[in-house]
Amino acid sequence: MPILEIFSQGEEIVTGQTVDTNSAWLSEQSVALGFTVSRHTAVGDKLGDLIALLKEIAQRADGCLCTGGLGPTSDDLTAEAVAAAFNLPLEFDETAYRQIERYFNNRKRPMPATNRKQALLPQGSIRLDNDWGTAPGFAVRAGRCWFAFMPGVPSEMRGMFIERVKPLLTERFVLNPSRLVTIKTLGIGESDIQQRLDGVSMPDSVQLGFRAGVDEVQTKLLFPANYPETDRTTLTEQIAARLGDFVFGIDGLSENTGNLAAVVDKLMRVAGKTLAVVETASQGLLAAKCPGATWLKSALFEQSLSALGQRLAVAVDANDLAATGVRLAKALQAQNPTDFVLIQLYEGSPAQFQDKDRTIILYNTLLTQGSLQQNRHNLGGPLGRKQNQAALLGLDLLRRHLQNRKI
């Protein structure tokens, strides 16, 4: 397998002000493509360090993915370092310049003179158009190694990698990619998942792994290149079945499902339904997770339960949030002509909410045409985690309803 290295440039990385997430993301992508990733390196903005490192890598690796240092300012030195390391003088790229100009024109802002520098590319390099920001990237061969240079801003880097770099890599290298399947769940922890998987017979060639993130827990299956497709599907389905309704999406089998909000977005579009939401614990975050969702007609946050009751002209009872949720849902549906109504309430003082060592109790009520569903969850951890879990669990109730309807 060809050997690839990842290289990040940025003073903010070596000084620890930024955690370098680009390297992990690029490594995952590269391993999935069939590369062996042997090394990550990060250096700051000292030209000498950059040149030395580029020369080392050119002798050591078959490919190198580089991020950062393409900005307009004086501490963005990547192109200059490449020019010096490999004796490839910088040349003005007319097309790159016009793209940078267009970026500013589209935003109706004048283009600062310093941005001209971003159109200087090392001789003989391939320009990588940046549709996601101002700095074009570039790719160039030096020594044994094929280098691709991308911006350090994660969203720009990801767009450029997928659209520009990946096709060039698959063109230039003979790759036998392994296949990664990711089963995504919400509301069940890593150790519970492991217990549920007890007794599933895993072939030696398949690597099983877990990753717990803030928005989901992932169960990962890495299949070798020659693993039969039907066996891959069978094993994945067997494991997903063990995890049941906790599974909201599977990536890597057919199309990728995206995160929970994307799954709900798709289900709502297909169902052709509309939704109105009342958020309390998540304080706007549930709605905020669905940008561009035209099915979301309104979202209301109220700090106090009594103000919420007044607004919807409903009697509220802090000691019976289940019944209060139903009354609020009916009142909101009467007021707002939407197909679904979701009411999120919680039991707990502001002090409880803010204390990472105390829990609150979340009450979700989903009123649809002809059905009413409610659930309760204990939410713990820091304020931000409680807020995020509340938003996700509301979306997940909607997801479960929409998925079960289809059966």
Matching residue, tokens 């820091």: 382
Site pattern 368..397 for its own copies (x: CB under 8 A): ----------x-xxxxx--x---x------
In 3-state terms, what secondary structure has residue 356?
coil
Binders of its own copies: how many residues, by CB under 8 A? 98
Residue closest to 360 by CA, chosen among 335, 325, 389: 389
CA distances from 143 to 189, 223, 325 (A): 47, 33, 67
Q: What tokens were used for 182?
A: 């990711």
Site stretch for its own copies (CB under 8 A), options 237-245, 318-326, 341-349, 356-364: 356-364
Q: Which of 95, 126, 131, 371 is in the footprint of its own copies by CB under 8 A? A: 131
Long-range Cβ pairs for the range 271-274 (8 Å, 24+)? 271/402, 271/405, 273/339, 273/340, 273/368, 273/402, 274/338, 274/339, 274/340
Q: Which of 153, 240, 328, 329 is in the footprint of its own copies by CB under 8 A? A: 153
CB of 124 to its own copies, least distance (A): 28
CB of 267 to its own copies, least distance (A): 18
Q: Which of 87, 123, 176, 194 is in the footprint of its own copies by CB under 8 A? A: 194
Which one, 114 or 234, has the nearer CB to its own copies? Answer: 114
> Which ranges of 36-189 would DSSP assign to H, the alpha helix?
47-60, 78-86, 94-106, 154-160, 166-172
Does the protein bind its own copies through residue 137 (CB under 8 A)?
Answer: no
Residue 271's identity, in one-letter code, is A
Are 152 and 106 in contact, with CB atoms under 8 Å apart?
Answer: no
Residue 288's identity, in one-letter code, is A
Site stretch for its own copies (CB under 8 A), options 11-19, 119-127, 265-273, 367-375: 11-19
Q: Which of 62, 101, 163, 190 is in the footprint of its own copies by CB under 8 A? A: 190
In 3-state terms, what secondary structure has residue 66?
strand
321 vs 360: CA distance, rounded Å = 13
Which one, 131 or 231, has the nearer CB to its own copies? Answer: 131
Q: Which of 94, 106, 230, 315 is in the footprint of its own copies by CB under 8 A? A: 106
Does the protein bind its own copies through residue 84 (CB under 8 A)?
Answer: no
Does the protein bind its own copies through residue 272 (CB under 8 A)?
Answer: no
Judged by CB under 8 A, the chain residues 220 through 259 that form the site for its own copies are 220
Does the protein bind its own copies through residue 212 (CB under 8 A)?
Answer: yes
Does the protein bind its own copies through residue 347 (CB under 8 A)?
Answer: no
Residue 250's identity, in one-letter code, is I
Q: Which of 97, 173, 227, 353 is in the footprint of its own copies by CB under 8 A? A: 353
